[in-house]
Structure 1
Amino acid sequence: MFSQRSIRSRFLIQLIIASVALMIIFSSILYLFIQSSIYDEKRNELLGIAENICSYKSLVDAQENSNDAMLGLTVELVNRHTEQQQIDFYEMESDAQTLIILLYPFNLIEDSYIKISKNITPTKQLLKKILNSIFIINAIGFLLVIVYAIIFSKMLIAPITGLNKRLSNMNEHMIRPLVVQELPDEFISLGESINHLINRIQNFVKYQKELFIGAAHELKTPLAVMKLKNQVTLIKKRSPEEYVDAIKVNNKTIDEMNAIVASILNIGRQEGAQLETPIQADVIAILRRKANDFALLAESEGKELQMHFEPNAFMAILQESLLNQIIQNLLQNALKFTPKGKKVLLQSRLNDEGLLIEVIDEGCGIDDTVDLFAPFKRQGNKSGAGLGLFLAKSAADALGGELELRNRDDHSGTVASLLLRSKLHCILPIKSK
């Protein structure tokens, strides 16, 4: 518990040291105040007696109602030769007794002084008892501070201990998000970050399994086609043209397999891109560059790519290559499924959560019952390995964003949206053009 690396141990030590220092300072001030008050009272008492003696020339007349003040009191007249007539007040020990002595000028011509001695041994013993009581109270207070510090520090780290216990019991088959509403306010942000990480792990485990199964299936099918074609070709002697056709079929199948392998390699490259150091980038500028690149491609296919960006700039700290990959995939899919003569719109706008980027096409729409983000899932009869949206979803998760596909409400077509949350990005002041 008292490891130097433990936050709880450092908290306990600092709290104990601060509490002890505070108790010592407070106790010292309290004791000195009590002692000073008692001595001031005794001094004023002796001064009053001396003044009355000088005024009335009689101790009895001076002390009409002060019998208690006479206890342990000794008055005598002494001569003292000093250059300045002054009042002296001091304490001295005599025969196991403590006396306070006042020298008060009586006759300035004869240099005589009234010497008043008062036995304050009971008062001294009382002060000693007070000091001992303060020590005992401080000792009890010190123990209470230690108990309180241990309980309080345990209460402070209870949420972390609970999170650690829950996370340590998780595995790839039992990953559950945290209920952030049950956490203290100070730990809500941590809980949301952990849930974001858990969501990424869940998607990674889910899609990696599907990726391995899908890759095996996708590669097994063309290999079976190649083997069957070769077996049929070798059953009997064929013409040169038939052998050429068989080789062409094999080459086409090999190209398909190469495309699948290339897509799988892109997954590895993307995982490497996730480890890149985030940089400050203008998201709107990236969107404009991508839109200009695809505008020529759309025009060559007889389609139109429109763009509308708000605000003029949106600065964030992120991996630019991942954002490029998402936008490129969404634009490729939109242009692929949009008929000739139709339009594709790339737009951005701010909402309550951050920056929303949308790619809206006029294609045939999507099947809502299919998880299009799973690997090797294809829409329609278009060519491709079916890994594009899988890569885009993985990149969006790495950026802390949310990628969504839905059908348009007004007419046929698809809306692909990417939400970059301001909470998970370092948003900088918007630039004006």
Structure 2
Amino acid sequence: MLNFSFKNRIAFNYIISTALLVAIVFLVIYQVVFYSVSIHIDDEIKVELDKHLDDVKIDNNDTYLIQVDQWRAREHNSINVNPVFVQFYDNNKKLIDKSPNLKSSNLILSDDTFNNDYINSYLNDIPIRQIQTPILNNNKVVGYVVLAMSLDDFEIIDILKNILFLTYPIILIILFFIARFFAGRSIKPVTSIIETSSKITKDNLKSRILLPNNKDELYTLSKTINDLLDRIEDAIEREKQFTSDASHELRTPLAVIKGTLEVLIRKPREKQEYEDKINFCVSEVDRLNSLVDELLLLARFENQKQNNKIENVYLNELILESLSRYSDKIKKNDIVVSTNFNKDFYVQSDYYLVSIIISNLISNSVKYSKNGGQIIIDLDSNKNATHLTISDNGIGIPKNNLSKIFNSFYRSDNSKNPEIKGTGLGLSIVKRLCDLLNIEIQISSQENIGTTIILSIN
């Protein structure tokens, strides 16, 4: 298609369809008028033909006589706007008589195959319509009458044709500019979208498209783009925060390791002091490795598409494996773990991802439980889902912090419990995996009372 603007393309497409419609309407008008005029002339010719046939008398010798006096008198006493031309022939197709208005001209007598048919012809270059009819006596042709009338009425057809041809392009041009005007008004929201979109950059994501008053397709488009911008802004803000937090979390252990090593090389130390500082650096390296692993894991899940390996997952076994993984810490802190499994529970999901979710949740319960605390793990099911509930009576989470616990690197008031180490990525990973697997997660908690987490697995 030609390189038109969107507004002109709308107008152009409208004109194409309108042109076809107008052409059909004009053609119908022309055909109706043409047919009506033709019928009118044919009716007049038929009336005149009947009158002239009444003037013909046939004798016993099959010779017809024309009542010339009556014919001439009627011709002089009647007012004919459209002149009538008449000629009479004998059975040998020789001219017998004709109307005075023909003067030296003659009408054409055609073959008998054209009898009683209306034929368009010319008389001295003037268009006429004529009919020839045999004069019969006892079904025997004794002569012919040819009657014609001028096609002056068809001048109306020519005038109409010229008018239609002249007005057709004018109408289309006028309609094009009218359509272009209304198309411009109709796509005004699109112009607003373009202007607003041109202002939006990575440093300016606050602008939004003004929603049209009419809730039509353009309203839906504008709202969809605004929602998209909201999601992009949120994603970029999360990315900025994640990058900032990640760089801070990685920089801290590196700075600690560097400072410790710098202290060691300032002067000679005792063997035990070297071992203590080196062990401290090793623990910081382990913490750094753990942090990097979790960052890579979170980045992997952020970009993961729907390529999960769905299989039959035995939840009872996964829970027991996770508990055994933290058994040393459970024993060290005298934590009592109660499991309520009244039967075997299976779900259709990704085994590896579900194991990460359960391991992280149990790890948090163990980490934040008090010495001598209790962890209760329940499994039950209904028609809609299988429910895993993990409850503890640990330090809990302040109510105003619950909405932030899934944010990367967020840890609720570290100053109150500095001895509890962590990266703040565990619940971020859990939430991301739950979203990937369509697992609903609910967390309720009260400070110094405990936390309850419920997973609903379809």
Q: TM-score, length-normalised on structure 1? A: 0.71
Q: How does 1:234-313 map to 2 (within 5 A)?
A: 234=265, 236-273=267-304, 276=305, 278=306, 289=313, 291=315, 294-297=318-321, 300=324, 302-304=337-339
Q: In structure 2, do the counterparts of structure 1 residues 345 and 266 end up closer, same or farther at CA, with 3 Å as the change threshold?
A: same
1:142 aligns with: 172
Distance 1:342 1:203 in 2: 36
Per-residue deviation, residues 292-330 of structure 1 (Å, max 9, x unmatched): 56333355463548799xxx98xxxxxx98x975x6665
Q: Secondary structure at the match of 1:342?
A: strand
Distance 1:386 1:236 in 2: 37
Distance 2:170 2:457 in 1: 58
1:353 aligns with: none
- Quick one: which amino acid aligns to residue 217 of structure 1? H
Q: Secondary structure at the match of 2:39?
A: helix
Q: Note if contact 1:335-1:344 (Cα within 8 Å) is conserved in structure 2.
A: no
1:170 aligns with: 200
**Offset, 1:28:** 1.9
- Quick one: which amino acid aligns to residue 250 of structure 1? C
**Offset, 1:20:** 2.1
Residue 375 (str. 1) matches residue 408 (str. 2) = yes
Q: How does 1:101-180 map to 2 (within 5 A)?
A: 101-107=130-136, 109-121=140-152, 123-155=153-185, 157-176=187-206
Residue 343 (str. 1) matches residue 372 (str. 2) = no
Q: Note if contact 2:212-2:219 (Cα within 8 Å) is conserved in structure 1.
A: yes
Q: In structure 2, do the counterparts of structure 1 residues 161 and 52 end up closer, same or farther at CA, with 3 Å as the change threshold?
A: same
Distance 2:72 2:388 in 1: 109
Q: Note if contact 1:303-1:341 (Cα within 8 Å) is conserved in structure 2.
A: yes
Unaligned runs of 5+ in 1: 314-319, 351-355, 421-433
1:223 aligns with: 254
Residue 98 (str. 1) matches residue 127 (str. 2) = yes
**Offset, 1:43:** 0.4
1:89 aligns with: 118
Q: Note if contact 1:329-1:392 (Cα within 8 Å) is conserved in structure 2.
A: yes
**Offset, 1:42:** 0.7
Distance 1:357 1:159 in 2: 48
- Quick one: which amino acid aligns to residue 83 of structure 2? G
Q: Secondary structure at the match of 1:375?
A: coil
Distance 1:348 1:182 in 2: 47
% identical equivalent positions: 20
2:34 aligns with: 35
Q: Note if contact 2:438-2:457 (Cα within 8 Å) is conserved in structure 1.
A: yes
Q: In structure 2, do the counterparts of structure 1 residues 349 and 187 end up closer, same or farther at CA, with 3 Å as the change threshold?
A: farther
1:209 aligns with: 240
Per-residue deviation, residues 337-370 of structure 1 (Å, max 9, x unmatched): 44644125687998xxxxx998654245533434
1:385 aligns with: 423
Q: In structure 2, do the counterparts of structure 1 residues 18 and 396 end up closer, same or farther at CA, with 3 Å as the change threshold?
A: farther
Per-residue deviation, residues 3-48 of structure 1 (Å, max 9, x unmatched): 28x7666554443333223322321222122111101111011112
More deviation in 75-84 or 356-365?
356-365
Q: TM-score, length-normalised on structure 2? A: 0.68
Q: Note if contact 2:7-2:183 (Cα within 8 Å) is conserved in structure 1.
A: yes
Distance 1:225 1:99 in 2: 115
Distance 2:79 2:301 in 1: 96
Q: Note if contact 2:12-2:176 (Cα within 8 Å) is conserved in structure 1.
A: no
- Quick one: which amino acid aligns to residue 377 of structure 2? K
Q: In structure 2, do the counterparts of structure 1 residues 293 and 14 end up closer, same or farther at CA, with 3 Å as the change threshold?
A: farther
Count of residue pairs brought into register by the alignment: 392
Q: How does 1:66-77 map to 2 (within 5 A)?
A: 67=78, 69=80, 71-77=82-88
Distance 1:263 1:392 in 2: 11
1:427 aligns with: none
Q: Note if contact 1:210-1:374 (Cα within 8 Å) is conserved in structure 2.
A: no
Distance 1:36 1:60 in 2: 31
Q: Secondary structure at the match of 2:408?
A: coil
- Quick one: which amino acid aligns to residue 409 of structure 2? F
Q: Note if contact 2:55-2:71 (Cα within 8 Å) is conserved in structure 1.
A: no
Distance 1:233 1:85 in 2: 129
Q: In structure 2, do the counterparts of structure 1 residues 184 and 74 end up closer, same or farther at CA, with 3 Å as the change threshold?
A: same
Unaligned runs of 5+ in 2: 57-66, 94-110, 328-336
Distance 2:213 2:84 in 1: 73
For the pair shown, the structure with the greater C-alpha radius of gyration is: 2
Distance 2:355 2:234 in 1: 22
Distance 1:132 1:331 in 2: 86
**Offset, 1:165:** 2.6
Q: In structure 2, do the counterparts of structure 1 residues 419 and 294 end up closer, same or farther at CA, with 3 Å as the change threshold?
A: closer
**Offset, 1:78:** 2.5
Distance 1:132 1:400 in 2: 74
Q: Secondary structure at the match of 1:224?
A: helix
